[in-house]
């Protein structure tokens, strides 16, 4: 079993390991990216795929300092709602949702 200092994916920890990570001062990263259209050539998941990849790579480089939480895959995309596939959440709900996640940490 790897040391908690080496684990950077939050959802791979047990709850006692979460306590250890908190005691170590690990910084939680919440990747956020909407499901929305990006033209004819890209999939709807581009935003959260990129956000998760950047967060994961940053944490992989400094696993003793960071924890990547599961991504929030929805957001405020009112500006592209005329295009099929875009999933919108009102910005106040989005903000509250992310705040609720951070408060539970």
pTM reported for the whole predicted model = 0.88
Mean pLDDT of the chain: 94
Is the pLDDT at 3 greater than 90? The verdict is no
Domains contained in the chain, CATH given: 4-104 (3.40.50.10310)
- Lookup: tokens for 50: 């990129």
> Residue 1's pLDDT band (boundaries 50, 70, 90)?
low
pLDDT at position 79 = 87
Query: Per residue in 14-59, pLDDT tens?
Result: 999 999 999 999 999 999 999 999 989 999 999 999 999 999 999 9
CB 48 within 8 A of CB 31: yes
What are the residues whose beta carbons fall under 8 Å from the beta carbon of 38, sequence distance 6 or more?
44, 46, 47
Place of tokens 């992310």: 98
Task: Give me the pLDDT at residue 98, please.
Answer: 97
- Give pLDDT tens digits for 59-93: 999 999 999 999 999 999 988 888 898 999 999 99
Give the model's pLDDT for residue 81.
Answer: 84
């Amino acid at each position: 079993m790897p040391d908690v200092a080496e684990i950077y994916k939050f959802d791979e920890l047990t709850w006692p390991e979460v306590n250890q990570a908190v005691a170590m001062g690990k910084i939680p990263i919440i990747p956020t990216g909407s499901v929305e259209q990006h033209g004819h050539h890209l999939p709807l998941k581009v935003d959260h795929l990129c956000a998760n990849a950047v967060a994961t790579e940053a944490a992989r480089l400094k696993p003793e300092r960071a924890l990547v939480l599961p991504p929030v895959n929805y957001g405020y995309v009112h500006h592209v709602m005329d295009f099929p596939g875009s999933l919108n959440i009102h910005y106040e709900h989005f903000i509250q949702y992310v705040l609720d996640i951070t408060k539970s940490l």
